[in-house]
Amino acid sequence: MVERICPSCRHGNPLENRFCGACGVALDHDALVPKRPDALVIAGRHFPLAQVRQVGGAVAVGLLAVAADAGVAWLRRRTAQPTLPAVRSTTPESVANTVTILSQRVVEIWDEGRLTRQVVEKHLWRREG
């Protein structure tokens, strides 16, 4: 592809531009320079694609490492066993062998905006060993 290069700031402009998009200088019709397919043009400057690919690869590897660390931390939090409050009996020989867990669930049934029924479920688990 061919572009028009500004004689004063060396900014690359499309062929239909009569004035430079960066500095506003009138562009000559004979200032046509072919684009290099192996370079990236940013603000009129050419950067070799090999360097851009190396930097992009390093950034991608860094982002992958951060994502992996975040995923491992999330999995550790997710798989950690929650500690439930345990109620133990007071006799010395059964203190280390008895675990009691109490849970409660409330189910509310609404009909036309009114609470018509409420069910309270309580569960008690006791393990004695």
Q: How confident is the model at residue 106 (pLDDT cuts 50, 70, 90)?
A: confident
Q: Of 8-17, 30-39, 111-120, which gets the smallest average pLDDT?
A: 30-39
Q: Of 12-16, 75-79, 87-91, which gets the smallest average pLDDT?
A: 87-91
Q: List, as one string, the DSSP characters of the chain.
A: -EEEEPTTT--EE-TT-SB-TTT-PBPPTT-EEEPPTTEEEETTEEEEHHHHHHHHHHHHHHHHHHHHHHHHHHHHHHHSPPPPP-B--SSTTTTTTEEEEEEEEEEEEEETTEEEEEEEEEEEEEEE-
Q: What is the pTM of this model?
A: 0.29
Q: How confident is the model at residue 35 (pLDDT cuts 50, 70, 90)?
A: low
